[in-house]
Amino acid sequence: MHLRDESVVGQWKLPSRKFYGVGGKTLAERVANLPRETKNVLSFTERYGPLSGNPLDGGQFSFTVESWWRNQMLFQRNWLSGQVNPTTLLLPDGNTTIEFRDRWLQLGCPDLWTFMTLELLSRPERLRVCERPSCAHPYFIANHGKERYCTGHRASGRNDGMPSNGRRNLRKGGRHELVQTPQNLVD
């Protein structure tokens, strides 16, 4: 994978692997909070793949860095407004799979965008934006529903006027076992 002009260009790796989320933060939180630098888009894409497209299609993918930033802003607006439309998201297509495994329903997503949107839909009442104005990573999912500040500020130990419950409030589990999508699928 490399940067050509203002576009990220890469090749899908096959076979694809199942992905159940990442510990600590959801993929949705990672995208919403990614600092606006080209190197971050490259790093994210190397690890997780592009936001759209399916590795099963094979071949090459390409997208502009500017389009990635526009998608991030759209995702952030969806986060803030809670206006994620599941009816248009879950229309069946040839790349969506549903399986039952060990009494779990497993939905195979056609792309990362669908996966992240499902993360938002799974707990819309817990979507938060850190109330500290200078927060560099303001988008987070609350663990118990009462948090007003992201984990970094709750656990900082600094006496900067923010409430603290005296312990780190880490994400429990951090896995989304009902969804699969590609990970580390690009060269």
Tokens coding 66: 């500017």
> Residue with structure tokens 């006496």?
159
Q: How far apart are CA 63 and CA 28, in angstroms?
A: 19
Q: Give the strand pairing for 139-141 and 127-129.
A: antiparallel
Q: Give me the residues paired with residue 115 across strands.
A: none
Which pLDDT tens digit goes with each residue over 1-59? 899 999 999 998 877 776 666 677 888 899 999 999 999 999 999 988 899 887 777 78
pLDDT band of residue 177 (cuts 50, 70, 90) is very low
Q: 86: which residues sit within 8 A by CB, 6+ positions away?
A: 121
Q: Would the pLDDT of 163 be above 70?
A: no
Q: Around Cβ 10, how many Cβ atoms within 10 Å?
A: 20
By the 8 A CB rule, do 148 and 163 touch?
Answer: yes
Q: Residue 67's pLDDT band (boundaries 50, 70, 90)?
A: very high
- Tens digits of residue pLDDT in 71-128: 999 899 888 887 665 544 444 455 667 677 777 767 777 888 888 888 888 888 889 9
